[in-house]
Amino acid sequence: MKTLIFAHRGASAYRSENTIEAFALAIEQGADGFELDVHLTKDGEIIVAHDDRLERVSDGTGHINDYTLEELKRLNFGKLFEGKPCLVPTLAEVYSLVKSTEHKINVELKCVERIYNELPEKLIALTKEHGMEDRVIYSSFNHYFLQMIKNIDKSVKTGILYDLAMIDPWVYAVYIGADAIHPHYRIIQALPHTVDRCHEKGIMVNVWTADEPQVIDMMLKTRVDAIISNKPDIAVSCRDNLTVN
């Protein structure tokens, strides 16, 4: 089994996160796909951004959901890196970027300050429209969202995001019908048997966010299904070296 490398918000160690520039670089660096985050705009469009608010990554202020797509497209989302201004992408634009490739996408549904109950249905419709059903997995810390997605379409893939130790996560994943768990890598460092127990139940293990070579090497040796990394070039290099050796 080949462990997949997913670029966390694109190659976000080198380009402004969740931008076309970051995703394009991740492709160049050999990533198998990317993890990204989605929100709904005021006018119901699905855009790719991590925070509920604009201040950290852009020159805007306030909540994303208070702006229309047209208004958000006037902002510079390249604040984290000096240089060329970056536009916030729609999920449709990211799908178009990879449509002709084999890259996979982990779509995380955000649910921090505002919860978009209509988001699951909109996501599934957009993914089908672009013919990406077999290349997308949906994840969220809001596990009700994952159930909603499965209720709409049982064939789609879902992954349970969590960052604290969970007792027997493979049991919980089967219980809610999830296809994968998405733990922080430190959980697998502490409880490596989790990978085998999950695989016995047909549950994938996709860890976040591993950037250091020694951590990535350990995750590879525990045979996780995917590693989500801010530095996909480093993760790909570690995987290649492990394969050669």
- Residue 130 annotated as catalytic: no
Catalytic residue chosen out of the listed positions 8, 39, 103, 182: 8
Token pair, residue 245, equals 């050796």
Q: Is 50 left (phi over 0), alpha (psi -120 to 50) or beta?
A: alpha
Residue/partner pairs of 169-175 with CB below 8 Å, 24 or more apart: 169/194, 169/198, 170/194, 170/197, 170/198, 170/200, 170/201, 170/203, 173/198, 173/201, 173/203, 174/201, 174/203
> DSSP readout, 80-123?
TSSSS--PPPBHHHHHHHHTTS--EEEEEEP-SS---TTHHHHH
Catalytic residue chosen out of the listed positions 39, 50, 103, 182: 50
CA-wise closest residue to 22 among 75, 131, 97, 123:
97
d(Cα 103, Cα 92) in Å, to the nearest integer?
Answer: 15
What stretches of the chain show up as alpha helix (H) in DSSP?
20-28, 69-72, 91-98, 119-129, 143-152, 169-176, 185-190, 193-200, 213-221, 232-244
- Residue 143 annotated as catalytic: no
Start-to-end CA span in the chain (Å):
16
Q: Residue written as tokens 């209720």?
A: 151
Task: List the catalytic residues.
Answer: 8, 50
